């Protein structure tokens, strides 16, 4: 909000009848909680709808309101003078320079704009630019001031001396600045300037609305393709909004959160104009340039790149040009048959504020994770601003942490039990080489022993520090804080496997993992191996390829994986519980036997889908079910191009290449292969829908769930 100098901020009452008349936020469902608080915020702010007013620096009517004392976001230029700069406070994903360039063109100043992106050595250039523009009445735009922290004192002096003893600058002179929030930016410049923050619109409706506000009427209305042109333009606006709003679904939307901005949309529309100048639409070139370069240039994950291309084809395609085409099954979202830009804007105004997940190609269940995340963050914020009260009853923090240490030390083994070793652990093949799977087991055992040793050592040291026997070091302080908050200490994470679980779930999972490795060490490989229980699951899978290559005397790079879903569900929890109970032997693996070729793995989960055992294929999720267990999978090695690597028995059925990740975060450190450290391997699965359906769903496999 913009205020005049000396204007006081509005007084916000300490209590709000509407808020306090609402049910407690933790009682209703997440959706109800968000709706209630959104309605409360809208009412309190005096807004007619739950969307912020659209920002438009190009509002020409603002020039007639120079004398007004009420500042509006639509008219920032009207409040500037030759001695009052305009500061754009940047936010992630927003770039006001494109709108500024259009505005300067509208004002007839495009040829008199001098802009520079600040950085090392650019300060003197900016000073000369400002000095010349002051005399001529030109405009200067200094971008990214936060990147020139050492020059900010000079900027402060320049702004302070704009109206010096030599007289005011030329009346047409304007100084525009942009900067991310930083303590290095001069306070005096902020106090004596018009400040505008242009955050990316939140919600698909607001995003498309802003795109149409930024668009020129002539650009939209006049083209040789007529309605096809307007449909394609609207499709690009929808595509831009979709790729922006998929971020709210977290890893279901994008593995990595990308910061697309308005310049990407502008570039895509200019590319469209260039390709269609003669009245023809080169679809292949248009799709490739838009998805692989204009937007794809920001995408670093290969699975996100696949999703980006699929999202574009839904809204910018030959089918989209057909009259009556809708972007979603509900039919509410479609291209307006509007020859005028104003009518297209009215069409967008009529859209719902909250778009359904189906518009993104996602299941309604995707909203569950989104609403849960939003509500948790909101309630945590409310909790953080509440006054803290100190209770004199109950346990002290030291007592709580001590109890956690005692419980953990008693329940977690100090090392793997290797008193009995199965012959396969040290077995060699017919050529005298160690079995690759046995090598993987020994490496896993070494990693778990190191982790268990670290865990016990840190807890013992922490107990000594609590008693005052040793110094509470910085690392022990972090362990203390993590245990008190129910988190896994960073020290353990650094030595452990990928996991998003809280402390209790992590310790339970560690117990299962240690038991799995011990059973393998003592009794040899079981009928099915728990892939989720390994530090490095790729080692076990690659071992299957290596064993096949050695046995058949084939180069390993000529082999690939073939996955067959068995239809048998195996629970590692049940395996652990049965082994600990020492009851009579039962078939825990549903009749599965150790295969002669390859290995059988279990413990995988399907996110945004489920397995239909009857039909033997991937199918859509049930309402309210965000994940499902995948039956045990037989992994075999086959020669590349042999036709057996498709993943199922019916060669004519539809296949979906489902990526397998270690955790639900999906993102990790990007490798040179284009994959992340969180990625394991893709599985080709039979499916009852075409691949693009599952790609937009965000369907993937996980080795473990989050608590």
Enumerate domains of the chain plus CATH numbers: 1-43 (no CATH), 60-197 (3.40.50.300), 201-366 (1.10.8.720), 395-525 (1.20.1270), 528-707 (3.10.490.20)
Lateral strand order in the sheet of 194-197: 113-117, 139-143, 174-179, 86-89, 194-197
Distance CA 449, CA 426 (A): 18
**Are the beta carbons of 527 and 592 closer than 8 angstroms?**
yes
Residue (of 504, 501, 520) closest to 448 by Cα position: 520
Question: From the CB of residue 171, how many other CB atoms can be counted at a distance below 10 Å?
Answer: 9
Distance CA 447, CA 463 (A): 25
Residue 221 C-alpha from the chain's centroid: 36
Q: What's the pLDDT score for residue 360?
A: 96
Dihedral angle computed from the Cα positions of residues 96, 97, 102 and 104, in that order, rounded to the nearest 10 degrees: 110
Distance CA 331, CA 352 (A): 12
Distance CA 562, CA 673 (A): 21
Place of tokens 């080489």: 433
DSSP 78: G
Place of tokens 């994950």: 301
Q: What is the chain's length?
A: 707
Residue (of 509, 537, 528) closest to 451 by Cα position: 509
Torsion angles phi and psi, residue 537, rounded to 5: -65, -25
Q: What's the pLDDT score for residue 34?
A: 63
What is each CA distance from 437 to 424, 425, 513, 554, in whole angstroms? 9, 9, 17, 18
**Are the beta carbons of 340 and 221 closer than 8 angstroms?**
yes
Token pair listed for 351: 């859209």
What interhelical angle do 436-467 and 537-552 show, nearest 10?
160
What residues have CB less than 8 Å from 407, skipping those under 6 apart? none
Q: What's the pLDDT score for residue 178?
A: 92
**Are the beta carbons of 560 and 638 closer than 8 angstroms?**
yes
Distance CA 360, CA 312 (A): 11
Strand partners, 141: 115, 176
Residue 504 C-alpha from the chain's centroid: 26
User: Pairing between strand 529-530 and 599-602?
Assistant: parallel
Task: Kindly report whether the global pTM for this prediction surpasses the value 0.85.
Answer: no
Strand partners, 628: 606
Residue (of 643, 665, 660, 662) closest to 652 by Cα position: 643
Q: What's the pLDDT score for residue 48?
A: 55
Element (DSSP H or E) covering residue 701? strand 700-702
Beta strand extents in 536-584 (DSSP E only): 559-565
What residues have CB less than 8 Å from 689, skipping those under 6 apart? 618, 619, 620, 654, 656
DSSP 322: S
Distance CA 40, CA 42 (A): 5
**Are the beta carbons of 539 and 599 closer than 8 angstroms?**
no
pLDDT less than 70: residues of the chain: 1-75, 93, 165-167, 380, 383-384, 386-393, 643-652, 671-675
Torsion angles phi and psi, residue 278, rounded to 5: -95, 0
Residue (of 114, 366, 401) closest to 252 by Cα position: 366
Let me know the angle formed at the C-alpha of 405 by 401 and 408, rounded to the nearest 5 degrees: 135
**Are the beta carbons of 685 and 648 closer than 8 angstroms?**
yes
Residue 30 C-alpha from the chain's centroid: 20
Q: What's the pLDDT score for residue 295?
A: 97
**Are the beta carbons of 684 and 647 closer than 8 angstroms?**
yes
Three-class secondary structure of residue 655 per DSSP: strand
């Amino acid at each position: 909000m913009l205020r005049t100098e000396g204007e006081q901020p509005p007084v916000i009452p300490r209590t709000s009848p509407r808020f306090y008349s609402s049910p407690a936020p933790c009682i209703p469902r997440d959706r109800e909680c968000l709706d209630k608080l959104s309605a409360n915020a809208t009412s309190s702010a005096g807004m007619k709808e739950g969307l912020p007013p659209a920002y438009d620096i190009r509002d020409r009517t603002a020039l007639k309101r120079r004398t007004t004392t009420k500042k509006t976001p639509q008219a920032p230029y009207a409040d500037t003078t030759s001695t009052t700069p305009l500061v754009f406070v940047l936010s992630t994903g927003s770039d006001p320079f494109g709108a500024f360039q259009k505005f300067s063109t509208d004002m007839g100043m495009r040829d008199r704009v001098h802009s520079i992106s600040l950085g090392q050595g650019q300060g003197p250039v900016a000073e000369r630019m400002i000095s010349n523009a002051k005399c001529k009445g030109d405009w200067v735009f200094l971008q990214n001031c936060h990147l020139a922290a050492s020059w900010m004192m000079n900027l402060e002096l320049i702004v302070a001396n704009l109206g010096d003893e030599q007289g005011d600058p030329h009346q047409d002179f304007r100084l525009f600045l942009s900067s991310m929030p930083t303590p290095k930016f001069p306070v005096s410049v902020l106090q004596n300037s018009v400040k505008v923050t242009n955050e990316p619109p939140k919600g698909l409706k607001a995003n498309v609305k802003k795109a149409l506000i930024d668009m020129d009427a002539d650009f939209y209305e006049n083209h040789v393709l007529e309605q096809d042109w307007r449909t394609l333009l609207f499709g690009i606006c929808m595509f831009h909004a979709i790729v922006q709003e998929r971020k709210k679904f977290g890893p279901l939307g994008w593995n990595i959160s990308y910061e697309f901005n308005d310049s990407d949309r502008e570039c895509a529309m200019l590319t469209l104009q260039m390709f269609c100048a003669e009245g023809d639409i080169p679809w292949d070139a248009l799709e490739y340039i838009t998805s692989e370069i204009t937007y794809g240039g920001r995408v670093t994950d290969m699975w996100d790149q696949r999703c980006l291309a699929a999202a574009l084809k839904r809204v910018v395609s030959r089918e989209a040009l057909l009259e009556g085409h809708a972007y979603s099954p509900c039919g509410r979202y479609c291209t307006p048959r509007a020859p005028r830009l104003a009518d297209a804007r009215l069409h967008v105004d009529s859209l719902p504020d909250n778009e359904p997940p189906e518009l993104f190609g996602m299941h309604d269940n995707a909203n569950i994770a989104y609403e849960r995340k939003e509500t948790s963050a909101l309630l945590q914020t409310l909790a953080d601003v509440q006054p803290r009260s100190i209770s004199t009853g109950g346990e002290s923090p030291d007592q709580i942490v001590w109890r956690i240490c005692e419980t953990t030390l008693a329940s977690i083994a100090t090392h793997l039990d290797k008193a009995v070793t199965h012959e396969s652990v040290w077995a060699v093949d017919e050529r005298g080489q160690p079995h690759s799977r046995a090598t993987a087991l020994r490496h896993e055992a070494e990693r778990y022993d190191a982790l268990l040793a670290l865990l016990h050592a840190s807890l013992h040291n922490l107990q000594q520090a609590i008693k005052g026997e040793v110094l509470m070091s910085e690392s022990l302080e972090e362990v203390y804080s993590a245990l008190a908050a129910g988190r896994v200490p960073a020290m353990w994470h650094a030595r452990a496997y990928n996991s998003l679980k809280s402390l209790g779930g992590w310790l339970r999972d560690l117990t299962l993992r240690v038991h799995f490795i011990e059973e393998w060490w003592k009794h040899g490989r079981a009928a099915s191996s728990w892939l989720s229980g390994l530090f490095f699951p790729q080692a076990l899978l690659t071992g299957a390829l290596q064993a096949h290559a050695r046995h058949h005397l084939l180069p390993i790079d000529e082999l690939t994986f073939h996955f067959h879903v068995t239809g048998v569900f195996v629970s590692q929890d049940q395996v652990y519980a049965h082994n600990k109970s020492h009851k009579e032997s039962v078939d825990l693996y549903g009749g599965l036997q150790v295969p002669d070729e390859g290995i059988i793995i279990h413990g995988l989960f399907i996110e945004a889908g489920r397995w239909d055992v009857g039909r033997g294929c991937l199918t859509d999720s049930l309402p309210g079910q965000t994940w499902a267990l995948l039956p045990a999978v037989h992994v075999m090695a086959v020669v590349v191009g042999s036709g057996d690597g498709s993943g199922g028995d019916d060669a004519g059925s539809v296949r979906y290449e489902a990526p397998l990740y270690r955790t639900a975060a999906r993102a990790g450190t990007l490798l040179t292969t284009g994959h992340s450290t969180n990625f394991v391997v893709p599985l080709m699965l039979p499916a009852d829908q075409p691949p693009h359906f599952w790609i937009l769903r965000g369907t993937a496999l996980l080795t473990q769930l989050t608590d």
